[in-house]
Structure 1
Amino acid sequence: MSTRRYLLELAYCGTDYAGWQRQPNALSVEETIDTALSTMLGTPIKLVGCGRTDAGVHAEDYAAHFDFEGELPPRLLGRLNRYLPADIALRALHHVPESLHARFSATGRSYIYRMSLEKDPFRPNTVAWVPALGALDHRKMEEAAALLLEYSAFAPFCKTNSDAYTMNCALTESRWEFGERSLTYHISANRFLRGMVRLIVGMCLRVAEGKLSLDEVRVALDRQQRLPRPWSAPAAGLYLSRVIYLDRTSWRGVP
């Protein structure tokens, strides 16, 4: 039987993992699912994810593909969900064309960053709380977010030692949503740099506190250089919320 390509849609809470990507000395989401699949299918399976998420970062909508030669066992998705820990949930399994690549076929991604202005003892690892924040100017936060839409390169918002081949990203959304005691940042683009969203959130909060000016942000973007005293917001509030593919109609669901 020829090898077939399958795509998993899933979600996970990243609190207890060193990110999506397999690590030599720490548990990752990828390794956890690889192990479950390999056990169920009786052969080594290597997932290819739609992108990396850092340690402690979550995903509400994630996709990963794998190749397998043979017949899948019945009710595989349900059996995998019972085998996997409670913080990983497989949503759907599809038979997809061999040309589909979970990472390179994705045309867009969206992230959400969630913050609480009050300490929340029930969600300490899934909503960010920064006790040292001062008074926040919402108008300045909105201006800082909107400023990014004027640019196509984002070197100031990339972690050092990145292996990115380009700093270019096509942003289509960058905005804040304000609740009574909460803040939510929404950002969408064709691709993201390593650590980009958390550095952007940190920038917006520093602008809102008056610790960084919009002029300083604009200069850094114009020159493609690091911001003065860059700050990366805590991982707990960050979620990959959507991955976009253009050819979903060609996918066939697997029972």
Structure 2
Amino acid sequence: MRYFIDISYKGTSYHGWQIQKNAHTLQVEIENALFRLLGVQTPIMASGRTDAGVHAKQQIAHFDTAEAIDIERLKYRLNRYFARDIVINSIVEVKPDAHARFNATERAYEYYVNQNKNPFLQELSYYFPKPLNVDLMNQAASKLLGVQDFESFSKVKTDVNNFICNITRAEWQIENVSLVFHVTANRFLRGMVRALVGTLLEVGLEKITVEDFKKIIEQKDRTAAGDAAPPKGLFLSKVTYPSSIYSN
């Protein structure tokens, strides 16, 4: 039996999602909990990896069991097991060949910038008190839309076959006390969202123009783009799947 597990987490205390030697990661934490509660080693596969310090409002992972499980009981026991920084939102049965990574059709991220010093947002946003021209930032963000090569915003050491992504949303919005960058695509490259944010902030500071930003995309060179924004402001916010993967 295969199940999708919907997870929210605050990534501050974790060295990212993926299992790493001698590191406290979310995958290790969740697999250990499943082993303790199910009594067997239960590997999980996520929709994608989040870096150290990055958060998730919705991360999806799949796992297999030999027999059907009591979903609500497992969800309850997992939430009792975890510390406050991990929450299981739901567990649903899916078809045996459903895959949390390869079947995802869209992923959405949010990046939070806080321009007023706020002790309650220190670990959940990037404190950036300098004045920003948000209109220019949105003009530049609009240049990201569509199917393009985003090598300029990818980490250099990566194992992907290509740097092509289809971005369907890219915009800045003011929400409560934060400035939030919303970006949705079929896939993202390693470090891509943080590199986009760091470069768009340079547009907002008027250090580079909208036309400069467009040229950075076209250069396909990571050294042309700005520094990556800190991980603490980044959230994986939604992962979308076709309805056909779910069990009837």
- Common fold: TM-score over 0.5: yes
2:149 is paired with a residue of what secondary structure? Answer: coil
* Counterpart contact for 2:44–2:63, Cα < 8 Å: yes
> Residue 62 of structure 2 aligns with which residue?
65
* Counterpart contact for 2:5–2:91, Cα < 8 Å: yes
Aligned partner letter, 2:126: A
> Residue 80 of structure 1 aligns with which residue?
78
1:131-142 equivalences under 5 Å are 131=129, 134-142=130-138
Consecutive unaligned residues of structure 1, counting only runs of 5 or more, are none
Q: Determine whether 1:183 maps to 2:176.
A: no
Q: Distance in 2 between matches of 1:179 and 1:8?
A: 29
Structure 1 pair 21–116 and aligned structure 2 pair: CA distance change class (3 A): same
> Residue 128 of structure 1 aligns with which residue?
126
In the TM superposition, what whole-angstrom CA distance separates every residue of 1:101-146 from its partner, at most 9, and x where no partner exists? 0000000010011111011111211122135xx3211221111111
Over 4 Å off, 4+ runs: none
> Residue 247 of structure 1 aligns with which residue?
243
Q: Determine whether 1:219 maps to 2:215.
A: yes
Deviation of 1:6 after TM superposition, in Å, equals 1.2
Structure 1 pair 180–240 and aligned structure 2 pair: CA distance change class (3 A): closer
Aligned partner letter, 2:8: A
Deviation of 1:212 after TM superposition, in Å, equals 2.1
1:77 is paired with a residue of what secondary structure? Answer: helix
For normalisation by structure 1, the TM-score amounts to 0.91
1:1-255 equivalences under 5 Å are 4-72=1-69, 75-131=73-129, 134-149=130-145, 152-179=148-175, 181-228=177-224, 230-247=226-243, 250-251=246-247
Aligned length: 247
Q: Distance in 2 between matches of 1:180 and 1:80?
A: 32
2:98 is paired with a residue of what secondary structure? Answer: coil
Deviation of 1:227 after TM superposition, in Å, equals 4.6
Q: If each structure's helix is expressed as a fraction of its own residues, which one has the higher value? A: 2
Q: Distance in 2 between matches of 1:43 and 1:158?
A: 37
For normalisation by structure 2, the TM-score amounts to 0.94
* Counterpart contact for 2:149–2:164, Cα < 8 Å: yes
Quote the RMSD (CA, aligned, Å): 1.7
* Counterpart contact for 1:151–1:221, Cα < 8 Å: no
